[in-house]
Amino acid sequence: STGGRSQCLRARRAAELMERHWRQGDADGLLSAVLLAWRQVKSISSLLSQRQQSVRAAVLRFCEGDERAAVHVCLLDWRHRTRAGKAFRTEVQERDESIQRLQEGAKSLL
């Protein structure tokens, strides 16, 4: 979609700006640029997600009726949150294991 392309282009430009800051050694400027870009991407992503969910809910209400659509939307949200939670727990576990291996490696060097 056009919105996705423009978002990608803005993200690419922001990354180039951050790289220039980094090359110039401007740590504070780089941090500020990174946080600003991250905030913008998060805001755009959240807005797009909300719009998509609203459209999905409206289509379901039209096709299934209000009550059944409400249940369907709840189940879809539950499924999404369950998958996201599982992915998060897996990532945390992998990072914990990596930290553990690094700590054991550091102990063996001492």
Q: What is the pTM for the complete model shown?
A: 0.51
- Quote the pLDDT of residue 16: 79
Cβ atoms within 10 Å of 73's Cβ, excluding its own? 16
pLDDT band at 94 (very low <50, low <70, confident <90, very high): very high
Q: Would you say 21 and 29 are in contact if contact means Cβ atoms under 8 Å apart?
A: yes
pLDDT band at 95 (very low <50, low <70, confident <90, very high): very high
Query: How far is the C-alpha of 110 from the C-alpha of 102, rounded, in Å?
Result: 13
Q: Residues 28-57: pLDDT tens digits?
A: 777 777 788 888 888 888 899 889 989 989
**Choice between 48 and 1, residue whose per-residue pLDDT is larger:** 48
Q: Where are the domains of the chain?
A: 1-64, 66-110
